[in-house]
Amino acid sequence: MLSALTWRLRRHSLSPRRDAGAVDIAERMIATRAWPDRVGELSTTARQTEPEAGGVADALVSGELIAAYAFRGGAYIFTPATADLILTVRQITRVWESPRFQRQGAFAMESWEPFRRELRQLLSDGPKTREEIAAHLAGVPRLRGLETGALGSGSDCLYKPLHWWGDICFGPAREGSATFRLRTDEATDPHADVDAVGRELVRRYLRSYAPVSEENLRYWLNAGLSVPKKRVTTWLDHLDAEIATVRIDGQDRRVLASDVDDLTGSAPDDSVRLLPCFDAWILGPGTADPLTVPPAQRVKLSSGADFLISGGVVSGVWRKRGNRLTVEVFPDRPDVPREAIEAEVRRLERVLGEDLDAGIR
């Protein structure tokens, strides 16, 4: 097992687990998928000494956590402070100004500010569904024609920039339908120094996901947040004195210089954990990173399989159907201790509050 992953396991509160709430855990992961709903809760409880069922949902209601559109067009959960870093960087390309994006969202640039003002006014008395927003816009003469975009056309292209600007975020679901609400915290600063924010985001990423490869950075910043490669290179050059390089499996990887001794001096940790699909453990570095995901198993992970890690390496998958839980250990990982898997299954039972008929193969 790699000692480098031992350091990352500690940073993620996966080994050892922490006596911490959902907000602290979210800060350590930076961002976690908001869909499926269970991902945020299971990712959090997997990292807590005493699992706090419903902790993420409670923090979303209180505003200590928010859910908003961020990476690759998907919805993610983070603290408001982290959201401001990520969403400020997400604005760099100004993609909403492109004709293609406007066609997808069924809007025109001249409608932006009137729509923005109208939506803020509408949401001032509480969260609204897409259908409720569309119905309201149909009654506003200068905004008629935006109903199609308001109903979600083009993967919510009408709403995504408002998430990135810090105007709105997701509210509580209502009868299975998503809602949007106003951001009530200190929203994203439109005058922020984007390059300073970008450099801080790189530091945060290294603090959570080191040792980081060139591919990890491209996946997270270029593919995830659409930051131009040259911009990322400029940030890294500026941070050169703060970053060190370590050699792992024949590949150069980056780590904050202040973390080098701790990372390289860590002893291997063979802890076993059951994690939900799209957990930050694999989405942070990306499923293409062979340090954590065996290449032969990447398709399963990218397709949304719940998974098992041993020593930080994905070593199997699990699935739950009703009260039946099946854990499949990969053939090339026969050393994963069965008793450790059984302990994780019992822990999952406590988290879910139900008895499971488990099978391990």
Q: What is the pLDDT of residues 188-197, one digit of tens each?
A: 677 899 999 9
- Rounded to the nearest integer, the mean pLDDT of the chain is 95
Structure token pair of residue 27: 């800060």
In a domain, 189, yes or no: no
Q: In this structure, are residues 220 and 84 in contact, taking their beta carbons and an 8 Å threshold?
A: no
Q: In this structure, are residues 111 and 146 in contact, taking their beta carbons and an 8 Å threshold?
A: yes
User: What is the DSSP code string of 228-239?
Assistant: -HHHHHHHHHHT
> How many Cα atoms within 13 Å fall on the side-chain side of residue 349?
14
233 and 278 belong to one structural domain: no
In a domain, 188, yes or no: no
- Tokens 């854990």 -> residue: 327
232 and 350 belong to one structural domain: no
178 and 321 belong to one structural domain: no
Paired strand residues for 316: 308, 329
pLDDT of residue 4: 84
Region 78-86 average pLDDT: 96
Furthest CA-CA distance within the chain: 67
59 and 111 belong to one structural domain: yes
Range of the domain at 155: 3-182
168 and 310 belong to one structural domain: no
For CA atoms 262, 265, 271, 274, give the dihedral sign. Answer: positive
Write out pLDDT tens, residues 280-339: 999 999 999 999 999 999 999 999 999 999 999 999 999 999 999 999 999 999 999 999
* Helix residue spans in the chain (DSSP H): 3-11, 22-29, 37-45, 55-62, 80-90, 99-105, 112-123, 130-138, 147-150, 153-156, 160-164, 194-209, 214-217, 224-225, 229-238, 260-264, 280-283, 298-302, 338-352
> Which pLDDT band, with edges at 50, 70 and 90, does 2 fall under?
low
Pairwise pLDDT comparison (217 vs 2), residue with the higher score? 217
- Quick count: other Cβ atoms within 10 Å of Cβ 101? 18
233 and 281 belong to one structural domain: no
Pairing of strands 66-69, 32-33: unpaired
pLDDT of residue 186: 66
Structural domain count, the chain: 3
Q: In this structure, are residues 5 and 270 in contact, taking their beta carbons and an 8 Å threshold?
A: no
Burial 227-246 (b: 16+ CB within 10 A, else e): beeebbeebbeebeeebbeb
What CA–CA distance (Å, rounded) separates 351 from 361? 23
Write out pLDDT tens, residues 241-296: 999 999 998 999 999 999 999 999 999 999 999 999 999 999 999 999 999 999 99
173 and 114 belong to one structural domain: yes
Decide: residue 193, CB within 10 A, 0-12 exposed, 13-18 middle, 19+ buried. Answer: exposed
Q: In this structure, are residues 131 and 119 in contact, taking their beta carbons and an 8 Å threshold?
A: no
Give me the torsion for CA of 117, 122, 126, 130, rounded to 10°: -100
260 and 276 belong to one structural domain: no
37 and 162 belong to one structural domain: yes
Write out pLDDT tens, residues 162-212: 999 999 999 999 999 999 999 988 666 778 999 999 999 999 999 999 999
- Tokens 């050059």 -> residue: 237
332-339 long-range contacts, Cβ below 8 Å, gap at least 24? 332/294, 335/310, 336/272, 336/308, 336/310, 337/270, 337/272
pLDDT of residue 350: 96
In a domain, 187, yes or no: no
Q: Which of 165, 173, 228 is nearest to 198 (CA)?
A: 228
Distances (CA, A) of 169 to 2, 18, 68, 345: 39, 28, 5, 34
Report which secondary-structure segment, H or E, holds 356.
none
- Percent of the chain with pLDDT strictly greater than 70: 99
Domain final position from 182, 204, 231 = 182
151 and 244 belong to one structural domain: no
What CATH number does residue 248 fall under? 1.10.10.10
201 and 313 belong to one structural domain: no
Region 230-247 average pLDDT: 97
CA 31 from chain centre, in angstroms, equals 3
115 and 13 belong to one structural domain: yes
Write out pLDDT tens, residues 9-44: 999 999 999 999 999 999 999 999 999 999 999 999
pLDDT of residue 38: 95
What CATH number does residue 288 fall under? 3.40.630
Domain final position from 264, 286, 320 = 264
What CA–CA distance (Å, rounded) separates 316 from 205? 26
Flag whether pLDDT at 1 surpasses 60.
no
